[in-house]
């Protein structure tokens, strides 16, 4: 067993363990923190794949923003007391079946794609400059559309937040 493989195993355990903990812990806050651990592990996986930019962006966006927003939402909406009911709902086999089906479809899709068999070119590192060039040259339309959608979402959120209850 080589060192990179060992590192990959450790990180996989971290990601899967975090995801499982996020699902199974009673306390919603604990779940959110476990999710943050899982996302951090995913960022580390990106780093081992020589994708520095994606890894750091993953930490910045998911651990820094998304996890915090989830935590904030939990605190603002309802009591963060542990739930009384059991973690597994009664219909859990159906959920598991759906999860397996989705996994199967995704895996089949990935394996059939032309990229499946190709080996990654050795010694190539995704530099931030390269990512930027591709984003601004080839993928500029999707980028702009994404930006537009995000702006619309931001304005929408502000409009919803503006509506205040006026009570005399």
Partner 1 sequence: MLKHWLVALAPAGVQPLFSAVISIAGVIAVFATLFALTTVAERKGLGRIQNRYGPNRVGPFGLLQPAADGLKSLTKEDLTPAAADRWVFFLAPLVLVVPAFLALSVLPMGRNMTMVDLDGGVLFFFAVGAATELSVFMAGWSSRNKYSLLGAMRAIAQMISYEVPLILSAVTAVMMAGSLSTDEIVAAQAGYTCGVPNWFVTTPWGLAGFLLFLVCAMAESNRSPFDLPEGESEIIAGYYIEYSGFKFALFFLGEYIGMFAVSGMAITLFLGGWNAPAACLDAVPSFVWFFAKLGCLIAFFIWVRGTLPRLRMDQLMNLAWKFMLPMALLNLLVAGLWRFAQPGPARWLACGAVLAGGYLTLARGLLEAGGVRGRRVYRFAE
Residue 15 makes contact with partner 1 by CB under 8 A: no
- First-residue to last-residue Cα distance in the chain: 72
Binding to partner 1 (CB under 8 A) within 58-77 occurs at 59-60, 63-65, 67-68, 71-72, 75
CA distances to 69, 134, 149, 157 from 22, rounded to whole Å, are 16, 35, 29, 27
Residue 25 makes contact with partner 1 by CB under 8 A: no
34 burial level (CB within 10 Å; 0-12, 13-18, 19+)? buried
Residue 52 makes contact with partner 1 by CB under 8 A: yes
**What is the closest distance, in whole angstroms, from the C-beta atom of residue 63 to partner 1 in the complex?**
6
Please tell me whether residue 128 adopts helix, strand or coil conformation.
Answer: helix
Binding footprint of partner 1 on the chain (CB under 8 A): 27, 29-30, 33, 36, 52-53, 56-57, 59-60, 63-65, 67-68, 71-72, 75, 80, 125, 127-129
């Amino acid at each position: 067993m080589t060192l990179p493989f060992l590192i990959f195993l450790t990180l996989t355990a971290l990601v899967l363990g975090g995801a499982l903990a996020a699902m199974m812990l009673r306390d919603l806050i604990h779940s959110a923190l476990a999710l943050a651990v899982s996302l951090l592990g995913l960022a580390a996986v990106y780093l081992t794949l020589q994708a520095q930019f994606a890894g750091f962006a993953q930490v910045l966006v998911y651990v820094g923003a998304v996890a915090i927003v989830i935590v904030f939402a939990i605190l603002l909406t309802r009591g963060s007391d542990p739930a009384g009911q059991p973690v597994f709902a009664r219909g859990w086999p159906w959920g598991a079946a759906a999860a397996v089906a989705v996994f199967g479809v995704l895996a089949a899709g990935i394996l059939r794609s032309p990229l499946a068999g190709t080996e990654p070119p050795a010694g190539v590192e995704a530099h931030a400059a390269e990512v930027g060039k591709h984003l601004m040259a080839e993928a500029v339309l999707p980028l702009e559309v994404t930006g537009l959608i995000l702006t619309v979402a931001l304005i929408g959120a502000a409009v919803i937040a503006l509506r205040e209850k006026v009570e005399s």
